[in-house]
Amino acid sequence: MNKEISISKKQKTILSLFTCLVFLALVYVGDMLTPPTSSWGMLFTVLEKGSIYALVAVSMNLLNGFTGLFSLGQAGFMLIGGYTYAIFSIPAASRDSVYQYFDGGLIKFSIPEIFSNALGGVLGELGYSLGEFIGMFVPMIMAGLITAGLAFLIGIPVLRLKSDYLAIATLGFAEILRAFFQWKALGPITNGSNILRSFSTYSSPLFPIIISGLCIGFIVLLINSSYGRAFKAIRDDEIAAEAMGVNLFKHKQWSFVISSFFAGIGGALLAMFSSSITTTPFTSNLTYEILLIVVIGGIGSVTGSILGSFLFVACSEWWLRGLDSGAFLGLSFGFMRPGFRKVVFAVVIMIIVLFYSKGIMGTREFSWEGFLTFLKNLPGRLINFFKAFPKRLADFFRTLPAKIAGLPARMKNSLKKLKTNTKHGKEAR
């Protein structure tokens, strides 16, 4: 019944490019037209933060879902990325006020500023903004590279560990990094436990969307390359992978370093998004959130991680806000006070983890064929559904009495089944 649609590779490329351009144009125009006070402004916050989370989630998926390394260091790597970016992008003039407890800090220059000065700009002129824009990429790439370099060093001892030990060790490293950045002796650089602010940030939501998109694109290319296959082989069976000539340590190290590079870039984007940075949000809880996004989307699916990120951010920043303020879908209860949203959220996540452990996408990916086939068959399915609906309804009511009568027996049966199932359930180790 389902008619498959097949299209050529060229058509697919054109379709993808076209969709991306339309999407970006829509975001651009929408951002221009939406007044800052409108509640739709939230949409753009979600798009920005969602795309940043998507990048971090995909980079974590590269490790957990594609290489089978259960690493929990993501927050630590984002922290390094965010700080690296911030430290090198605070304008010289603002440094005295930012580093007020450390005599204006050790570093007295800002890379974006150097670029805008080189383009001869005076504040407000095109050359200045252009220079700042170009200059922002340098500290951002530095953020990625420094994070990756550190990941390389951490990887040497840590990647030799087995699954759960690796999780704890990476979690531990993230914690050490947090302590390190708060250290007073490093204050002239990191500003100790004080906030870093007034660094250069982007002005349009297109910036994080495009950067994240490009980075995710690279990760997808990597996954589909020969190295990506080697990563998956390690995930599926380390011993067999090694026997087929895959150098375990080298490939784990590549995956770890590349994932960290993008976590660093993600951290830099997050710093820009919130236009300030401290060590406080980069706890293990942030890592857990990103891990849960990956699980919601499907471990081993890039599409899933992206969808999961936008869903997660939209729910926590926008759709479920009402649960905190006491008015949600026209409902209002006394127990809806700040924090309730997160409880509901956590319960939903637990339900997903327990009952839909494959997440939204499982290990599947988006494909134009699948999408178009779905669209094409959708009307037919809907029509069929509504056609069959009266009959189904009638059937339902006809069999209802019998069902109710049979309920106790069925419950007994399923209970019995549950018992025997758990008794004979095998432990997978």
Partner 1 sequence: MNFFVDNLPYILAGISVGGQYALIAIGYTMVYGILRLINFAHGDMFMMAGLVMVYLAADLPMQIAIPVVIVFTVVLGCMIEKVAYKPLRSAPRMSIMISAIGVSYLLQNAALYLTGGLAKTYPAIPWLAKTVEIFGAHTKMVTIVTPILTLVLVIGLVLLIKFTKIGMAMRAVSRDFETSQLMGIDINRVITVTFIIGSFLAAVGSVLYFTNYTAVLPTSGSMPGLKAFVAAVFGGIGSIPGAVIGAFIIGICENIIKGLGWTTFSNAFTFVLLIIILMVKPTGLFGEKNIDKV
Partner 2 sequence: MTKRNILRVSDVTMQFGGVVAVNNLNLEVNKGEIIGLIGPNGAGKTTAFNVITGVYAPTNGAVSIDGQVVIENYPQGKMKALYKGQNAGKYADRRVLTPDKITKMGVARTFQNIRLFKGMSVMENVLVAMHTNLEAGVFSAAFRRNRKEEEKMHDEAMQLLRMFDLEKNKDDMSTSLPYGKQRHLEIARALATKPKLLLLDEPAAGMNPQESDELMHLVAKIRDDFDLSVLMIEHHMQVVMGICERIYVLDYGALIAEGNPQEIQNNPRVIEAYLGVDE
User: 73 φ, ψ to 5°?
Assistant: -105, 5
Cα 352 to Cα 332: distance, rounded to the nearest angstrom: 26
> Which partner, partner 1, partner 2, none, binds residue 2 by CB below 5 to 8 Å per kind?
none
3-class SS letters over 331-345: ECCCCCCCCHHHHHH
Q: Between 368 and 387, how does the x/- string for binding to partner 1 read (CB under 8 A)?
A: --------------------
Q: Between 44 and 83, how does the x/- string for binding to partner 1 read (CB under 8 A)?
A: --------------------x-----x-------------
Beta bridge partners of 328: 331
23, 26, 109, 157: which one binds partner 1 (CB under 8 A): 157
Distance (Å) of CA 41 to CA 24, 326, 340: 16, 21, 23
Beta bridge partners of 277: 196
Which one of 126-134, 144-152, 237-245, 379-387 is the stretch in contact with partner 2 (CB under 8 A)? 237-245
Which one of 46-54, 125-133, 167-175, 377-385 is the stretch in contact with partner 1 (CB under 8 A)? 167-175
Distance (Å) of CA 163 to CA 32, 67, 69: 48, 11, 7
Determine, following the binding rule CB under 8 A, whether residue 218 of this chain makes contact with partner 2. yes
Determine, following the binding rule CB under 8 A, whether residue 332 of this chain makes contact with partner 1. no
188 in Cβ contact with 249 (< 8 Å):
no
Q: Between 321 and 360, how does the x/- string for binding to partner 2 read (CB under 8 A)?
A: ----------------------------------------
| Total residues interacting with partner 1, rule: CB under 8 A | 53
103 in Cβ contact with 265 (< 8 Å):
no
Q: How far apart are the first and last CA of the chain?
A: 41
Determine, following the binding rule CB under 8 A, whether residue 173 of this chain makes contact with partner 1. yes
Which one of 82-90, 119-127, 145-153, 244-252 is the stretch in contact with partner 2 (CB under 8 A)? 244-252
Determine, following the binding rule CB under 8 A, whether residue 426 of this chain makes contact with partner 1. yes
**Single-letter code of the amino acid located at 353:** V
Which residue shows structure tokens 């419950």? Answer: 411
**Residues in touch with partner 2 (CB under 8 A):** 218, 221-222, 225-227, 229-230, 232-233, 235-237, 239-248, 254, 258, 300, 363
